[in-house]
Amino acid sequence: MDTERIKVKVTESGQEIEVVVLSKRAGAIEVVIGEGVHSVRCTLTPTRSGAAYVGSIGGRELVYGRSIADVEADLARRQMGVGAPRRR
């Protein structure tokens, strides 16, 4: 199984980091930052406008710049591919 990775932006430094997605749904995205013993979980929740997902770790704000509609479309696309038969 492939692990999904997304890029989030650290607003304080403007740096983009790649994180591993644990679970993804329209209401929240759970991600892991770091590896091994130093890994930290974070839940990204939609903003009020629904234009992005935001979370924080250790006082640092993380932003995933995709809207709720974009994430729902990704989930629908992934769901379509799960049960589809493959050609030989």
Mean pLDDT of the region 47-68: 94
- pLDDT at residue 86 tops 90: no
Alpha helices in the chain (DSSP H): 68-83
Q: What angle do CA 38, 40, 41 make, to 5 degrees?
A: 155
Q: Tell me phi and psi for residue 76, to 5 degrees.
A: -65, -40
Residue 21 pLDDT: 95
Residue 83 pLDDT: 59
Q: What per-residue string of b and e applies to 31-50 under the rule 16 or more CB within 10 Å gives b?
A: bebeeeeeeeebebebeeee
Q: Residue 4 has what DSSP assignment?
A: P
**Considering the entire predicted model, what is its pTM?**
0.85
Mean pLDDT of the region 56-80: 92
pLDDT tens per residue, range 2-25:
789 999 999 999 999 999 999 999
